Homo-oligomer: A and B are copies of this chain.
């Protein structure tokens, strides 16, 4: 068998770092608990190698083993990831505003950022009453069909937009826009209006209203959205509320020139 080329994760398995990464990438929402040989098989790495690496990872709490002796992602990883500025860091400052927005709308409120050419969901507040959304924290989704994605894509560097619109646009419902030119025009509306509406692009019963969150130097660092059942409210009537919340977050992000950002001597 050729050394790598397939497997599950990244491209280059030569370095230990690469191996570790592909090894960890074998875990997925569908497979959060794996045996040693499953990991080996799916990562395309030698069992022996995986055995050694995985051993070390367990020692450090990056992976965990239960009584069933199988492996899962450990708390240590969670603890480190909690420091990601664009992940939990962002969530931390955004949450109060998201809660307000939720109180006012009683609908799903979502926060997302762009990772490469997709949206990654960073936080969600889901009311019992609200429409079911199939978003998982830390999960990815194509940008064009989601409200969050439209906002992020509208403000992404043009190469990104180029790549995304060149690739075939996946259809989820009869309403999904699949013509790049149509999307392009929507995106320019988004830039003009300061918010995006994605109407039944992912499921036929839901639509979302999204607005950009700005960072210190005016770039869009995230997007905030409300997902609602189709036909419940006139979507554009929610736009001001969503924009307000998003601006609140933007301000909160910009304001704090806290000393914690500053490097201090030991």
Residues of A within 8 A of B (CB): 10, 15-18, 20-21, 24-25, 27-35, 38, 53, 56-57, 60-62, 64, 67, 72-89, 91-92, 95-96, 99, 113, 115-116, 120, 122, 126, 128, 136-140, 217, 260-261, 263
Contacts and interface: CB of A to CB of B under 8 A. Distances in A.
B25 A56 contact: no
A10 B60 contact: yes
Given A15-B56, A81-B82, A82-B136, 14 more contacts: A17-B53, A27-B80, A28-B83, A67-B217, A72-B84, A72-B85, A73-B84, A74-B84, A75-B84, A75-B113, A77-B80, A81-B138, A96-B128, A99-B128
A176 to B, nearest CB: 25
Nearest to A92: B137
Contacts of A62: 21
A156 B120 CA distance: 36
The 4 closest A-B CB pairs, nearest first, are A82-B138, A81-B81, A78-B87, A16-B16
Contact of A138 (B38, B88, B137, B140): B88
Q: Count the copies.
A: 2
A78 B83 CA distance: 9
Contacts of A60: 10, 17-18, 21
Contacts of A28: 83
B83 A27 contact: yes
Given A27-B83, A30-B260, A32-B89, A120 B77 contact: no
A87 B75 contact: yes
A102 to B, nearest CB: 10
B120 A79 contact: yes
B115 A82 contact: no
A66 to B, nearest CB: 9
A84 B56 CA distance: 17
A26 to B, nearest CB: 10
Contacts of A95: 126
B115 A83 contact: no
8 contacts: A18-B60, A29-B83, A33-B85, A34-B263, A73-B87, A78-B86, A82-B136, A96-B128
